């Protein structure tokens, strides 16, 4: 039986060492300096429910061929969560083991663990938000932990329990239903404000939502003392928009984000309605909302129906891989591919296809006909007008290099386990 960690679409990563052969593709001999690119791979374990995670140097995102994990470093043997890069380091956010670990990868493909913190007080931790080399945030139930991402030490807490809605009756998804748990799924920082996406659950085991709205906690960072264990005086308010459902990636897709800031400083929020397979009961399409630069309210003049622009209403849209000038890639679910005998099909099966969206024109174009497991692997790398897009199905894992101007594609690396590329240097 699938447990609650499998019920949601999420990712996982980890790192320990295998061996390093110095004369094969993607594995140079020099040990000095940081590797330019890391290839993250996540093969499924023999129990069929958990995943291992590996990291190895990738000489170039254009490397073509097959890379197994024989020269990779295992960063976790049984893991769920997201993997992020920041200041030439790799951070493994493992909600299954309630920890965060920091790793480095040398130019000679030597991986080294550089510290870790335990965050059991968060319950179910969300995405990491990095402010600078001394400050990062990660949220959960009732708290946002402040830590130093360089020294990997916890320094303080933002306590938001005074704004928790646990126990409130919402009458969703059924009459009399109430909020059984709430948590911060994702954080974005813009100027002096932190915006923390909230998810209210009726059933923690299935991640069934208890609300149908988009809710974000706003925090004034000028009032946050990084060494304080309270900081409740920094809480501003919770803003709500009824046009969209919940947002926040919660470590899905290997470490994607559902809130992104554009070149204008505006924040765009993807309300995705997929957690718990809730699209039909929510009855709202996946959409994009906006918070203007410096604002602490949703922009009522902006709304983008992502489903109508792509495959049609009733086809949920997940992931939000922004690549500039108002453009982003996202995965669109094809309901005809759902397995009626598998209640977790939306998470475990290759039923998504990649599309490109335009925030300004409010249009969409299908990028690739290949189906992929969109909830588990979605972290893209963008460079020089190309997207390096991960694909996974029941039999293969690979990355396609897609020309963003004409959508032509070339298969690059084929991997053992679901994969994505991180630029470190």
364-404: per-residue pLDDT in tens?
A: 999 999 999 988 899 999 999 999 999 999 999 999 999 99
Mean pLDDT of 346-360: 94
Is a pLDDT exceeding 60 seen at residue 5?
A: no
Tokens 């059924």 belong to 174
Q: In what order do the strands lie in the sheet with 381-383?
A: 65-67, 409-415, 397-403, 386-392, 381-383
Instruction: Give the C-alpha distances (Å, rounded to integers) separating 38 from 48, 85, 95, 108, 243.
Output: 26, 9, 22, 12, 39
Mean pLDDT of 171-175: 95
The total of other beta-carbon atoms located within 10 Å of residue 71's CB is 19
Nearest to 196, CA basis, from 168, 229, 231: 231
Give residue-wise pLDDT tens across range 57-94. Answer: 999 999 999 999 999 999 988 777 889 999 999 999 99
Q: What is the pLDDT of residue 19?
A: 36
Q: What is the pLDDT of residue 375?
A: 83
Give residue-wise pLDDT tens across range 194-224. Answer: 999 999 999 887 888 999 999 999 999 999 9
Q: What are phi and psi of 256, to 5 degrees?
A: -85, 170
Q: Measured between alpha carbons, how far is 180 from 209 in angstroms, rounded to an integer?
A: 10
H or E element in which residue 194 lies: strand 193-203
Percent of the chain with pLDDT over 90: 78
Is a pLDDT exceeding 60 seen at residue 192?
A: yes
Nearest to 243, CA basis, from 175, 307, 300, 168: 300
Whole-model pTM over 0.85: yes
Q: Measured between alpha carbons, how far is 318 from 328 in angstroms, rounded to an integer?
A: 11
Supply 99's token pair.
């920890």
């Amino acid at each position: 039986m699938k447990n609650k960690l499998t019920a949601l679409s999420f990712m996982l990563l980890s790192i320990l060492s295998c061996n390093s052969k110095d004369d094969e593709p993607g594995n140079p001999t020099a040990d000095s300096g940081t590797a330019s690119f890391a290839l993250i791979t996540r093969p499924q374990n023999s129990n069929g429910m958990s995943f291992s995670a590996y990291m190895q140097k990738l000489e170039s995102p254009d490397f073509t061929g097959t890379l197994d994990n024989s020269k990779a470093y295992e960063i976790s043997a049984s893991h769920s969560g997201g993997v992020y890069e920041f200041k030439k380091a790799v951070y493994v956010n493992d909600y299954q083991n309630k920890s965060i670990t920091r790793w480095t990868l040398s130019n000679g493909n030597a991986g080294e663990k550089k510290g870790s913190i335990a965050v059991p007080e968060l319950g179910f931790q969300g995405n990491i938000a990095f402010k600078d080399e001394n400050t990062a945030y990660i949220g959960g139930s009732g708290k946002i932990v402040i830590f130093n991402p360089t020294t990997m030490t916890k320094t303080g807490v933002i306590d938001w329990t005074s704004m928790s809605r646990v126990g409130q009756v919402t009458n969703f998804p059924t009459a009399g239903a109430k909020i059984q748990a709430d948590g911060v799924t994702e954080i974005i920082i813009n100027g002096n404000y932190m915006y923390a996406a909230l998810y209210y659950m009726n059933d923690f085991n299935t991640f069934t939502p208890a609300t149908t709205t988009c809710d974000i906690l706003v925090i004034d960072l000028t009032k946050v003392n990084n060494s304080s264990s309270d900081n409740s005086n920094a809480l501003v308010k919770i803003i709500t928009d009824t046009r969209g459902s919940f947002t926040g990636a919660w470590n899905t897709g290997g470490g994607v984000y559902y809130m992104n800031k554009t070149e204008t400083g505006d924040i765009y929020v993807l309300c995705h309605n997929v957690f718990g397979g809730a699209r039909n009961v929510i009855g709202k399409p996946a959409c994009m909302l906006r918070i203007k630069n410096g604002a602490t309210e949703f922009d009522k003049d902006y709304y983008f129906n992502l489903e109508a622009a792509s495959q049609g209403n009733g086809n949920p849209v997940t992931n939000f891989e922004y690549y500039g000038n108002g453009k982003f890639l996202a995965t669109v679910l094809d309901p005809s591919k759902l397995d009626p005998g598998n209640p977790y099909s939306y998470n475990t099966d290759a039923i998504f296809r990649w599309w490109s969206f335009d925030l300004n024109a409010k249009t969409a174009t299908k990028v690739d006909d290949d189906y992929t497991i969109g909830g588990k692997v979605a972290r893209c790398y963008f460079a020089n007008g190309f997207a390096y897009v991960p694909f996974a199905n029941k039999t293969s894992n690979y990355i396609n290099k897609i020309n963003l101007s004409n959508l032509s594609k070339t298969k690059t690396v084929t991997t053992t386990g679901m994969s994505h590329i991180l630029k470190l240097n």
